[in-house]
Structures are given as C-alpha cells and as structure tokens.
C-alpha cells in the first residue's frame, strides 16, 4: 500500500521482489536474473504442489526455449497437437489442429502435470541466479518513490517477520491477487462468471492416433467439460459451470461430478470405466480483472492481474507471456526511470490485448451460434485457420488476424440473427 516518500539510508536489498513462484513468477524472475538483476521470489508453498491448469499452448514453446527448459518440459509432458469439441447428441467431434494455424511455426504444445512443470520453472529461476524463498508468506507491502517494501514471515511460524526492500515489486501471486486485493482493485467480470469441479482419473480412453494428446471439450446445458491426457494412465477431467448449477448439488463434490457426467452422453461413455485418483476439488469466481495492472513501484503479471475462463487453456500462456513482457518493462524502468510511465502503459496495453483476443470467444462460447461455428468450421477465407491461431495463443499481434476475425465475427452475428428468427442452424442444448 502506498505511503508518503521516505528518506532511506541504504539502497534496497534487491532490484526486484516477486510474490509467487508459479509460472508467472518463475518466468519473470528467471528472465530478470538473466538480465543481471537481483531478483527474489517469495513463495508460500513448497514445490512440488498440486495445481490445476495442465494444458499449454503452442505459443508457450518459444518462451520455454528462451528460458532453456524446453527439453525438460517435453520430458514430463504429453504432446498436444490440437483440441477437439463435441456436443450432446452427436457422436462426432471436430478437431482444431494447431498445424493448420495461419503461422504454424509451433504446431504442438504439451499437457503437463503442474506439480512437475511448476517445479521445473522455479528450479530454473534459481539456476539462472534468482534467490528463491519457499514457505514464505507475504503479509503486507508498501511503496515509496524509490522502492517497495514487503513484510514476510515463514509459513511454519518459526522465525520472526521481517521487512525486505526492492527497487520494484512484481505481484505474481496468482488467484491470491495479493496486491489488487490489498488495494481494492479486483473486480469480477460481470460478463462471465463460472465455477469448476475437477479430479484426475485413470481408465479413461484417449483419442486415436495423433489425436491422443488433444484436449477434449464437451458442451452441456450448464457449461462444459474438459478432458486433458496426462502421463501414464491419468486424465484430468473437470467441469466448468454456472455457480447456480454448482449450488444445486446434493452430496459430495465427487458424487456431483459423476452425476454431471450423465448430463453429457459423450462424456459419460468415455468415463464409464474411470476411477478417481484424488479428491475432487472445486474453484469458483473464475473470471476477474484488476482495474489497473501497475502503480508506484509495482506491477502485476498473470492471474494476479486477471483470469478468464479456462476453456481455451490460456491461463499458463497469458501468465508466462505477460511475465516476459514484464521482465522487459521492469528492466527498462530500472535502467531508465524517465521512461517508466510510457513503458508501463505499453505493458498494460499488450497484456490487455492478449486477454481480449481470448475473451471475445469465451463470452460467446455457450451461445448456440458459436457452438455451430466450432462444430462446422469453414476453411473459406482462412476463417478456421484464424480461429486456430487464437487457440494456439497467437493473440499479441504477431500474425495479422484481424481481417479474418472480423469476418468470423460477422458470420457469428449472422448465424445468431438467423437463430433468433427461428431459421438458423444453431440449437439449444438439452
């Protein structure tokens, strides 16, 4: 929290303090350390630890190369060449193959167990020169014109709290949203609110051939299901639904998830021989965004700033891409403070652009018109290739998608209008 300017007798302990050791925090710390900056990561957990969000995008891969971890990620991951979509009442599924994007230089990605993946990234940040303190909780923060100060204590309670200073603070605390929560900046997205229930299962059949590593998405009347193939015989299976539907459950979360499978025959068939491997978990209030991404001597990366519905597996990619942009922005702010305002405003624009690239589709994902277009993709004018490019994570301006996406939006609006008149091809789920 901001405080009046103070006169400090000694320089800060670090160039940058990073709150959180997930993909965003580990990435920004590693990149800043590679630039010669003194970086400290404060992580309240001890890696490895469970986390949801196992599906990555092709545009993650260049960041893995830059960090030097691609071989390690490949060793623990399942190759993901695309995504497939299904609706109740139809045996078929439609595949969106990453190799058919407009700029398919990265034709595949990975499905990963997050405990392994996150530890790879955190260990890499340490190897690159960042200091890592696990099981360390950040209690508070304040900023001044020349530094940020955090108050921390060991999670196990052994040891007194202490204050640490840095020239800059990066909030990568994920869904804890430490800074925005402290400053009252966090706001739920009024256009999209959802909850999730999920577990890992064995005995779930995979798609055939090269589709074996694909993520599968299934619509049903209250939301959608995911199936993410992991290593060995494990499948991450979850449901994203309206909070109202989740509140309707009668019994345990595990029973509720199993009962929900029956609402989607395609899912129910694949799950007929499944066995749960862990406790069933839930997460709510998925979509939110802070009113701003930076302030005096701080900025936010990844989920600490915003989170959108996970249907397009965008979470880890947005976290790591914003971390890459944040490392460049903070490095420039430290080297050339007079440029800070322009650089940070540019950082916010870049991050918001990527989020918006996914959000337009997400806000409309349950609409019958959007479902029809996904199940019946058109290759004319490069429309399907443009959508695949978005699904690949190509949303930050690298490829000129806008003309084709405008045409796709017009097509969507036309199908939606026809549906409203009762003569369109879309139909409600039942």
Tell me the average pLDDT across 170-189. Answer: 95
Residues 88 and 180 in one domain: no
Contact 315, 348 (CB under 8 A): no
pLDDT of residue 427: 60
Residue 272 maps to a domain = yes
For residue 429, the model assigns a pLDDT of 59
| Shared-domain flag, residues 129 and 272 | no
Domain count, the chain: 3
Which residue, 381, 376, 383, is CA-closest to 409?
Answer: 383
Question: What pLDDT is recorded for position 284?
Answer: 75
Q: Are residues 181 and 220 both part of a single domain?
A: no
Query: Which of the residue ranges 85-94, 107-116, 230-239, 360-369 would you say has the lowest mean pLDDT?
Result: 85-94
What's the CATH code of the domain at 274? 3.30.9.100
Please compute the mean of the pLDDT values over residues 164-187 and round it to a whole number. Answer: 96
Residues 271, 203 contacting (CB under 8 angstroms): no
Q: What is the pLDDT of residues 279-318, one digit of tens each?
A: 999 987 668 999 999 999 999 999 999 998 888 999 999 9
pLDDT tens column, 354-365: 999 999 999 999
Structural domain includes residue 1: no
Rounded Cα distance, 49 and 69, in Å: 19
Q: Tell me which of 266, 283, 300 is where a domain ends.
A: 283
> Rounded CA gap, 236 and 200, in Å?
4
Nearest alpha carbon to residue 171 among 333, 317, 319, 36: 319
Count the alpha carbons within 13 Å of 286 in the hemisphere toward its beta carbon.
Answer: 25
Over residues 7-23, mean pLDDT:
86
Structural contact between residues 57 and 77, judged by C-beta atoms closer than 8 angstroms: no
**Residues 259, 292: one domain?**
no
Domain identity same for 274 and 348: no
Cα 146–chain centre separation: 32
- Reading the block at residue 248, the tokens are 């309707």
Establish if 159 belongs to a structural domain: yes
Dist CA 234 CA 223 (whole Å)? 23
Strand partners, 235: 201, 229
The model's pLDDT over 394-418, given as tens digits with 9 standing for 90+, comes to 999 999 999 999 999 999 999 999 9
Strands 94-97 and 82-86: what pairing? Answer: antiparallel
Does residue 135 have a pLDDT over 70?
yes
Q: How far apart are CA 172 and CA 192, in angstroms?
A: 23
Transcribe 351-368 into DSSP letters. HHHHHHHHHHHHHTTTSH
Residue ending a domain, among 358, 378, 398, is 358
Are 212 and 164 within one domain?
no
Q: Are residues 58 and 137 in the same domain?
A: yes
pLDDT tens digits, 236-266: 999 999 888 988 998 999 999 999 999 999 9
What residue numbers bound the domain in which 195 lies? Answer: 79-110+190-283
Q: Check whether residue 147 and residue 199 sit in a common domain.
A: no
Q: Is 4 a member of any domain? A: no
> What is the spatial distance between Cα 56 and Cα 228, in angstroms, rounded to a whole number?
10
């Amino acid at each position: 929290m901001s405080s009046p300017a103070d006169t400090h007798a000694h320089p800060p302990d670090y160039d940058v303090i990073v709150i959180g050791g997930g993909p965003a925090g580990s990435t920004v710390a590693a990149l800043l350390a590679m630039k010669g900056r003194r970086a400290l990561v404060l992580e309240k957990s001890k890696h490895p630890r469970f986390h949801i969000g196992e599906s990555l995008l092709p545009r993650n891969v260049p960041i893995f190369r830059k960090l030097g971890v691609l071989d390690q990620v490949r060793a623990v991951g399942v190759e993901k060449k695309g995504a497939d979509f299904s609706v109740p009442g139809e045996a078929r599924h439609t595949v969106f193959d990453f190799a058919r994007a407009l700029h398919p230089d990265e034709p595949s990605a990975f499905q990963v167990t997050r405990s392994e993946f996150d530890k790879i990234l955190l260990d890499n940040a340490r190897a690159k020169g960042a200091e890592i303190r696990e099981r360390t909780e950040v209690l508070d923060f304040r900023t001044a014109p020349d530094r940020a100060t955090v108050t921390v204590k060991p999670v196990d309670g052994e040891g007194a709290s202490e204050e640490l200073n840095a020239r800059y603070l990066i909030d990568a605390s994920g869904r804890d949203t430490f800074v925005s929560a402290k400053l009252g900046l966090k706001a739920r997205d009024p256009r999209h609110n959802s909850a999730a229930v999920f577990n890992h299962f064995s005995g779930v059949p995979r798609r055939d051939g090269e589709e074996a590593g694909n993520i599968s998405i299934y619509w049903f009347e209250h939301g959608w299901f995911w199936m993410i193939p992991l290593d060995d015989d494990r499948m991450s299976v979850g449901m994203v639904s309206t909070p109202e539907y989740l509140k309707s459950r009668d019994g345990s979360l595990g029973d509720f998830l199993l009962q929900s499978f029956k609402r989607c025959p395609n899912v129910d068939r694949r799950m007929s021989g499944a066995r749960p491997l862990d406790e069933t978990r839930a997460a709510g209030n998925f979509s939110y965004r802070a009113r701003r991404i930076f302030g005096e001597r701080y900025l936010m990366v990844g989920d600490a700033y915003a989170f959108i519905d996970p249907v397009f597996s965008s979470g880890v990619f947005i976290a790591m891409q914003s971390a890459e942009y944040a490392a460049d922005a903070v490095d420039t702010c430290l080297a050339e403070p007079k440029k800070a305002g322009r650089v940070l405003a540019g950082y916010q624009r870049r991050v918001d652009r990527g989020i918006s690239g996914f959000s337009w589709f997400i806000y409309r994902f349950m609409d019958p018109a959007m479902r029809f277009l996904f199940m019946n993709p058109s290759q004319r004018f490069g429309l399907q290739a443009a959508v695949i490019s978005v699904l690949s994570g190509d949303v930050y301006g690298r490829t000129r998608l806008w003309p084709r996406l405008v045409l796709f939006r017009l097509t969507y609006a036309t199908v939606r209008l026809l549906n409203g008149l009762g003569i369109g091809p879309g139909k409600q789920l039942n």
